[in-house]
Chain A
Amino acid sequence: MDRVQSIERLKTAIMDGDEEAADWAARVLETGVDPLEAVKQAVMEPMQEVGVAFENGDLYLPELMMIGDAAKAATQVLMANLPPGEDSVQRWKVVIGTIKGDMHDIGKNVVAALLTAHGFDITDLGSDVSPKQFIETAKIQSAEIIAISTLITTTLPYHREVVRILNDTGERNQRYVIVGGGPVSTAWASEVGADGYGRTAQDAVELCNSLFKGEYTPPLEEPLSFGTL
């Protein structure tokens, strides 16, 4: 198998959500392909299509999650072989979950899968996650972003609590807090002092990419907003 074929095979494995994507990534490296180039061609380029395919109904959530996992596994293998001194394409760590009291996890799952597929290192805390759990996990993981999902209106005030604890402990400047979900809006993100709001899962990816690429420092004066409620 030559270099081009091996990259194509890895791309296929990722888009199929193949659990052996990591093995295919190792085979790519055996052909002598530059790891960074492999990530760009086999992981990052196809991921641009994934969100669109989901929104158009050509791809469903289980496939999205499997693709995210496959992309993550392959990226890890490729990045582990990056020559010293070369910039990693690995993006930030994100701790994500549905806030306390809320068991709705589907919107959060879509965001987590898309972010994973786009190279972010996701720790998914599931649903019914307390403000303390978000913060403690983010600390342990050294995560740059805390992403909070909500569907139920009476769980919204816990967003404020996450920001408040970070302020009270003097850690607000260490990580971004972004919010999303059915009843969440830009105005709400601003009111609670969050750094960003995304209306859809694709918007959340744009938001995280913007924070990653931009020259910001938390906390932002006004949240970055993608999509309008």
Chain B
Amino acid sequence: MNTLNIIDILERTQTGEYCTVKEWDTKRVPRTIREKLKKYSLEKSFDLENPVNTDFELADEFFKAGYEVALELGMLYETGDRIVKVSEEELAAALKYAPSEVIVGVGKDATVIRSRTPSDSYPMKFGAPLGITMSEDIFLRLNEAMAREREVDILTGGSLITIFGRTLLAGSPFETLAGYEQARLHLEARRLAGRPGMGGVGCVSSVTEYGQLGSCGLPGGFPPTDLLLALFPSELKINDQTLHKVVQTINTGGMVFAGSPAMIGGMPGPPEGATLSSIAAALLQYPILQSTVGGGEIYDLRSLSSVNRASLKALSVTHQALSRNTHLITQGIANQVSGPGTENLLLESLVGMATLACSGSAFSQGPRSAGGKLTDHITPLETRFCGEIAHAASSLSPEKVNEIAKEILPRYEEKIKEPDLGRPVQEVYDLKTLRPTKEWEDIYLKVRQEAIQLGIPLDAY
């Protein structure tokens, strides 16, 4: 079979069909998605009264349609307005030879992320925290605290907001500086937590390629045994930033970790359309971005979250479709909106993480406390809770998680658009003793107990 390499892809960014971003966004993507939804009778197929999909045949139909979307659209190289397409043979080869298992980290602290199926007894692995910005003075200690949480399998790490006390500016040499410094701090946090071989994700502080080029695969930087990020823009677009990261990762023998959320309400339209886009994006990451781990993510533009009914349904169908029809190692994210110290953050986490875990997602990162909007608005406690649910809910049936979601969702869904952003870590967690305040811990214990009563076997962990 003809497998593509990165040089083939770079060449196609120069020779592919010309298409402007506007043509792509307003015509090609929506039209193709609409055609496939119609062809497979998938329009309005989501019953949002049941937020977690229990119909695997429906998921399989979405997979077939998403596969066709991937082949017909390809991805737009927005830097040069060229479409990068792959043939059916090339896509099939990439999916065939994609790894089904990956070791992240080294030695006894390493984590194995494995391709899963829905309700798989092998647990979904969890990386944290999800790049939330952190003040420089607590950056090391807070990341150490995260790494000390045993339910965290991989240290994704927070993002620096300043570097050596100076403003960290995206795309400037400060970012190159920050990339390397972040790697140093991450590796130190893992060592201080007693997990020096723990796997990580690099380099979340750097939105452009500079931090990545300055930190990944270099001596003292993020090692090639970590997952190295190459996120790309929605919908189905790549650019020079993404490709620089991919090339650097390949050059240094690392593992590409790609991803991008499909937007409900955006170019693919309804939740069903976003699901097709998400599946297509997940598939195309393997031939085009040479991924080891790829994303199957969803985000609802209208609620700025992925823990509402439409997003949960789309996430469950996306991951059921991918995990039942491929052996890819896929990632999903439950984008919460409430902040630390609030019960709603834990309720959103419970439903979001359980949905991903039971649907066959191999890996998840989180939490996105307070929607990821505010610096220092994350604590190790909700992080622990997300990890607990990720592991304990993995083998539950979609029917069971659907019941749980139907029970919990009505308690927070009306607040999604106007969430309580909670309080910063300094106010609800003691970073000296690494203990939450009693008030925050009591909320956690209450929701945890409730999760057990609803049937999530947290007491077994």
Contact = CB atoms under 8 A, between A and B. Distances in A.
Contacts of A65: 22, 25-26
Interface string A30-68: 000000000000000000000000111100111001100
Contacts of B30: 60, 62
B270 A109 contact: no
Interface in B1-38: 21-22, 25-27, 29-30
A126 B374 CA distance: 25
Interface stretch (B97-105, B140-148, B168-176): B168-176
Contact of A154 (B161, B241, B304): B161
Contacts of B21: 126
A60 B207 contact: no
B266 A101 contact: no
Nearest to A183: B373
A153 to B, nearest CB: 5
Contact of A55 (B263, B270, B302, B375): B302
Interface string B238-271: 0101000000000000000000000101111110
B373 A60 contact: no
Interface in A134-163: 152-155, 157-158
A60 B239 contact: no
Contact of B373 (A56, A61, A155, A229): A229
A100 B234 contact: no
Interface size class for chain B? 35 or more
Given A101-B207, A104-B233, A182 B169 contact: no
B394 to A, nearest CB: 30
Given A65-B26, A105-B233, A153-B375, A100 B171 contact: yes
Contact of A54 (B169, B265, B268): B265
B449 interface: no
B171 A60 contact: no
Given A60-B265, A126-B21, A158-B169, A102 B207 contact: yes
Nearest to B161: A153
A59 to B, nearest CB: 9
B26 A154 contact: no
Nearest to A61: B266
A109 B25 contact: yes
Contacts of A4: none
A106 B263 contact: yes
Contacts, number: 95
A31 B203 CA distance: 62
B171 to A, nearest CB: 4
B452 interface: no
Contacts of A56: 302
A207 B168 CA distance: 29
Contacts of B375: 153
Contacts of A71: none
Given A105-B233, A182-B372, A154 B266 contact: no
A107 B445 CA distance: 37
Interface in B265-309: 265-270, 273, 301-302, 304
A110 interface: yes
Contact of B26 (A57, A66, A101): A66
A103 interface: yes
A153 B159 contact: yes
B205 interface: yes
Q: Which of A55, A56, A60, A105 has the most CB of B within 10 A?
A: A60
B130 to A, nearest CB: 13
A154 to B, nearest CB: 4
5 contacts: A60-B30, A103-B78, A103-B241, A154-B175, A183-B373
Q: What 10 A-B pairs have minimum CB-CB distances, sorted nearest first?
A: A101-B170, A101-B171, A60-B269, A62-B30, A154-B170, A155-B170, A152-B207, A62-B26, A61-B266, A153-B133
Interface of A: 54-57, 60-62, 65-66, 100-107, 109-110, 126-128, 152-155, 157-158, 182-183, 229
Given A154-B161, A158-B169, A183-B372, 8 more contacts: A62-B267, A65-B22, A106-B234, A106-B263, A106-B266, A155-B171, A182-B304, A182-B371
